[in-house]
Chains A and B, each alone.
Chain A
C-alpha cells in the first residue's frame, strides 16, 4: 500500500521536502507515518495533520492511497 505525504509552509522548509511517498504494509497511524518519513525528527509541537484534506488526530489510521499532510498552525485572513 502507498500514501502520499505532504508538508507545507515553515515545516516544508525545515524538513527540506514538500512531499514523500510511503510504501507500507499493515495498520499505520498518522503518528507512524511521521516516524517513518522523518525518523530523525521528533513529532513537532503544534503541527496539524490532515488526511484527504480533513483534520484528524495523530492516532487516526491511514489506508492505501490516502494523502496525509503535516503543517504548522494556519495564519490566513
Chain B
C-alpha cells in the first residue's frame, strides 16, 4: 500500500512497472489489476484551459489518502493498492492521478478502484486553480459527478 505526492510530471506506466516489481512475492495470487489514470483536459466549463496549479495540505492529504486505502483494504479482498497524485503546475495531457489496485478477482479490483477514486475526489485535500487561455485565473469550485453533462 503506498501513497505518493509528486511535484514533477510522472509516467504512470513506469511507476506501475516499478511498483509491480516490488509485488513479485504476491504475483502468483494476483488475478486482477484495476487502474485509473486521470489526465489534465485542455477545456473545462466551456473554456480553453492552458494550465493549472494544484495546491494541497501537506500531511493531511497523505493522511486522508492512507485512510482511504485502508478503508478499501477493509471492504474488499485486496492484495495491494497505490495512489500517485501530482501537485504544483500542471499542463494539459499530463497525468494528474494514478490509482492501482491488485486483487485475486476482478469484482474486488474494479469496485475498490472506483471507491478509492471517488473517495479521493471528495476527501483528499487538493485544490485546482485553472489558468485560461485568456490569462484569467479561477479556482475550480467543486468536482463533477464524473459523467459528461447532457
Interface residues of A (CB under 8 A from B): 6, 8-10, 50, 53-55, 69, 71-77
Contact = CB atoms under 8 A, between A and B. Distances in A.
Interface of B: 38, 54-57, 59-60, 63-64, 85, 96-97, 117, 120-129, 139-143
A53 B127 contact: no
B137 to A, nearest CB: 10
24 contacts: A6-B57, A8-B57, A9-B127, A10-B139, A50-B60, A53-B57, A53-B60, A54-B63, A69-B57, A71-B125, A72-B127, A73-B141, A73-B142, A74-B125, A74-B143, A75-B126, A75-B139, A75-B140, A76-B56, A76-B96, A76-B97, A77-B85, A77-B121, A77-B124
Nearest to A72: B127
Contacts of A73: 141-143
A74 B139 contact: no
Given A53-B63, A73-B142, A8 B127 contact: yes
A76 B126 contact: yes
